[in-house]
Structure 1
Amino acid sequence: MGIQLVDESLFSSVDPVALRGSACAACAAHVFPAQGSCPMCAGTEVEPVALPSSGTVWSWTTQHIAPKPPYRTDEFAPFSIGYVDLGPIIVEGWLVGKTEWVIGEPVRLVLAKAWTQDSEPVFTYGFESAS
């Protein structure tokens, strides 16, 4: 059995982990998750792109309220969430592996366990410290 993902459309690949975004041919804006048109200029010539797998913490906080579905609340524990600057785009995601973060801290993309379903882990994306 393969890796179960919260949403396969978020990923370009899982080995190595890469997020699927889109880039506009007209204005070069990057979007995540990928879209069929550009929200910046309304251009329709967009290409799927694998986003960079490393960046820096742009901002972060600890979330003490369970996320909305499809996330399950029976396994909820407070978690760090942040914005990560990947260069062409800033992406929101879980920050995993520790509870305190520093703005500007280098991070890398990883698979992060979201919950367990039928005794198997279901993964989303997250970022761990690269330092």
Structure 2
Amino acid sequence: MKPLAAVLLAAALALAAGGAAAQPSCGDLVAAYEAELALSQRCEVGAPDACGATRPRTPQDACRCQVAVNPARTAELDRLLAQFDTQACPRKPLVCNRACTKPARACAAAPGAAPSCAGR
């Protein structure tokens, strides 16, 4: 899978050359979302509401189980989710068949790691 940045660059070059922009594949959107989710979970320990927002763990999940994210870092996640839905990308499984756990909303740092809403 190509990173979303490479797909978007190719689309921009196609537009500059007078061609139509190609949409990223559903797989590219999932990969870009997962990368962006990791960035969106970065936080500052002790900051008020550092992990006060939630977003789905993956756009493919029919249950849309939520994880805590930094509210200041949600715009790109929202854009990728909207594009995933607009392109009618498939969900796996098709029907939600499990309960989701409530996301921990604490910013924590593991030894040798940057602070994260995931605590890793």
TM-score range, shorter chain: under 0.3
Of the two, which has the highest radius of gyration?
2
The structure where helix makes up a greater share of residues is: 2
The structure where strand makes up a greater share of residues is: 1
Q: TM-score, normalised by structure 2?
A: 0.24
